[in-house]
Each structure stands twice: as C-alpha cells, then as structure tokens.
Chains A and B, each alone.
Chain A
Amino acid sequence: MLVPLFWLVVATCAALAAWAGWFVVRDRAVVLRQLWAGAVVEGLLVLQAVVAGILLATGAGDVDGALFWGYVVTQLIVLPIAAAWAFAERTRWSSVVLLVATLTVAFLEYRLLQIWGAA
C-alpha cells in the first residue's frame, strides 16, 4: 500500500535535497520556492499518515503501533524546523540544514517501509 507513496516521498525528497545541495555549492541561502517544495513533501507525508491510519483502522495493515507512529511524528517535525531555520539563518548554512533535513526525511521514510513490512 505504502509503496507508490513511498517512492513519491523519496523522489521529492531526493529532488529537494539535490536543489539544496546545489545551493550549498553556490553559497546561497534557502529561497522561498524551496520552502514551497518542502511544503509539498510535507503534504505527501500528511497524506501518507492519513492513508496508513485508515489502513490500520480497517485492519488492512498490522504494525507495531507505537514504533510506527513515533516515526511518523518524527518525520513530520523535521521539515518545519528546517523551514524555520531558513528564515533565521540567511546564509549557505540554511541550505546545508535543508539538505540534512530532506535526507533525514528520506531515511525515516525507508525505516517506515521496513516497519510496515516487518509485522
């Protein structure tokens, strides 16, 4: 179930990570357009959480609930923090933080898929 969404999240994270990485190389701070891209990723994550919730509620999936939702909540927190930083730090380092944040979200996504498949 999560698989198409999983790839969509990973692909958008990778794209945003590449964009942020390019800005690191160019010595530029995060721009507003990148935050909109981040908002799209965040929207996908919320959608994924809703889908997972419905699937679990209808008995279509069987996972370790606390573990799974712990990862979901953690994953949802990361990008908003990076966005807040983009406003506070107007140097290349906000791009570095966005890069780290997108890679973190992608890694957590991978762990979510593992947890989903493990039960």
Chain B
Amino acid sequence: MSATASRRGRATGAGPGRLLVAVYGVLALAATARGLYQVTTKLAEAPLAYVLSLVAGLVYVVATVALATDRRRLAWATVLVEAVGVLVVGTLSLVDVGDFPDETVWSGFGRGYGYVPLVLPFLGVAWLWRTGRARDARGPDRHGGDRALD
C-alpha cells in the first residue's frame, strides 16, 4: 500500500525521493564541513582546491534543500552543476596535480567518498526527469502517503 501511495505523490522530496534527499544531505554535510575546515585552517596551502571544496559543499546544500522542497528548477541547476563539477574537477585532479594537492569532494571523481559524488547527480537527473514526466501526466499533486505514525 505504501509503495502505491508514494508513487501517487510526485513531489521530488517524497517517496523514493527521500532517499535521494537523505544521501544528498549526508554529502552536503560532509563536503561543507570539510570545506569549512580546510578554508578556515589551511587556506594558503591550496587556495583553489579548498575554496572549490567549500563551494561544492554549498552547492550540495542548495541541491538538498531544492529537492526536499520540490523546487524543480533550482534542483535541476544544482544537480547539473554537480555533474559538470565532478567530471571537470575529477579529470583536472588526475591531469594537473599542482592545483589540487589535497583532496576535495570531487577529486578523482569522488574517490574519497566512495564515488557517491559521481553517481548522485545522475540519479538526481533521472529522478527529476521521472517525477517531471509523471507530474505532466497527472497534474501537480504534492501528497505522499498519509499514514499516521503508529
């Protein structure tokens, strides 16, 4: 019953979207905390890598909020920024070690985070696309399952 109930809701943060938002949230926390730590304690060592680290973290925070609150346009923008970011920085970090002497969330295609940063944006795109199509077909319906907490 719950599976069909969650499929009825097409908000990006409901049903399976909760999992996406949860994993995004964890990554946002991890990347932002790490970026803050790097920028506040050792910015001079690798300014580009550390500022990028913090910016990446903040992008994940915005993506998490956008997905959770069903702001589709913002969600699309941030998810695409992440996809481009992880591919570009991942490649650069392998080619040009000079500017990326220390790890960021996107280094080595998200190696330090179990490649979650590489997979997540594409899951995000797939989910936005799917919920968007379902919504077009049915009209806006923001309600997921409504069982009370037992």
Residue among A30, A81, A91 with the most chain B CB within 10 A?
Answer: A91
Decide if A81 touches B25 in the complex (CB within 8 Å): yes
Other-chain contact of A82, B3, B17, B22, B33 (Cβ < 8 Å): B22
Please indicate the chain B residues that have their CB under 8 angstroms from the CB of A82 in the complex. 22
- Are B29 and A90 interface neighbours, CB within 8 A? no
Interface residues on B, range: 20 to 34
- Is A90 a contact of B33 with CB atoms below 8 Å? no
Q: Which of B46-54, B74-82, B88-96, B141-149 contacts A (4 or more CB under 8 A)?
A: B141-149
Complex contact A77–B145 (CB within 8 A): no
Cβ-defined partner of B30 (8 Å) among A74, A89, A94: A74
Residues of B within 8 A of A70 (CB): 33-34, 36-37
Encode A79-104 as 1/0 by CB contact (under 8 A) with B: 00110011101111110110011001
- Asked, given contacts A31-B150, A70-B33, A90-B148, whether A96 binds B18 with beta carbons under 8 Å apart, the answer is yes
Collect the chain A residues with CB atoms within 8 Å of residue B41's CB.
Answer: 66
| Inter-subunit contact A100/B2 (CB<8 Å) | no
Q: Is the C-beta of B56 less than 8 angstroms from some C-beta in chain A?
A: no
In the bound complex, how far is the Cα of B18 from the Cα of A85, in angstroms?
8
Using CB atoms and an 8 Å cutoff, list the residues of chain A in contact with chain B.
27-32, 66-67, 70-71, 73-74, 77-78, 81-82, 85-87, 89-94, 96-97, 100-101, 104
Chain B: residues with CB nearer than 8 A to chain A? 2-3, 5-6, 14-19, 22-23, 25-26, 29-30, 33-34, 36-37, 40-41, 144-150
